Amino acid sequence: MVNEVVRLRGEVTNPESSSVYTYTFQAYRFGFNPDNDPVQAEEDQSYAVPRYDYVPLSIVDFDVSDPAQVRTPPGTNFIVIVLNVLKPED
C-alpha cells in the first residue's frame, strides 16, 4: 500500500450519550474498484460504477482496533498509523 491513499472513517456508536462517546472505525484504500466491470463499462455508456473508489481494507490488511497498528496520542484528536504498518509484504 505504499503510495496509496488511505481513508479512516469513524462513526459515533452511541449518539444518545451526552458526555462519553464510543466510535467504530473502518479503513479504506483508494484504488481499483472490485465492483467495476471494465467490459460492461466499455460496452455501456450509462455504466455508472466508478473504476477507482475507496475500498474497505480487510482486518487482515489493517486492524484499526489493534494498538500495535493504530494509536491515539493523549490530548489530541488524531489517530496515528504506526510506522511500517502499511508497508508492502516482503
Q: With contact defined as beta carbons under 8 Å apart, do 32 and 56 qualify?
A: no
In a domain, 46, yes or no: yes
In a domain, 89, yes or no: no
CA 70, CA 85: separation in Å to the nearest integer?
A: 9
In a domain, 36, yes or no: yes
Question: How much is the pLDDT for 13?
Answer: 78
Residue 3 has pLDDT above 80, yes or no: no
On the 0-12 / 13-18 / 19+ scale of CB atoms within 10 A, 62 is buried
Residue 23 pLDDT grade (very low, low, confident, very high; cuts 50, 70, 90): confident
How far is Cα of residue 84 from the mean position of the Cα atoms in its chain?
Answer: 17
**Is residue 67 one of the residues assigned to a domain?**
yes
Residue 1 domain-assigned (yes or no): no
Task: Tell me the sheet residues that pair with 54.
Answer: 30
Whole-number percent of the chain with pLDDT over 90 = 23
* 90 part of a folded domain: no
Per the model's pLDDT, the better-predicted residue between 25 and 77 turns out to be: 25
pLDDT at 89: 57
Total domains in the chain come to: 1
The reply to whether 26 falls in a domain is yes
Q: Domain containing 35: what range?
A: 6-81
Average pLDDT over residues 37-55: 94
**Per-residue pLDDT at 1 exceeds 50:** no
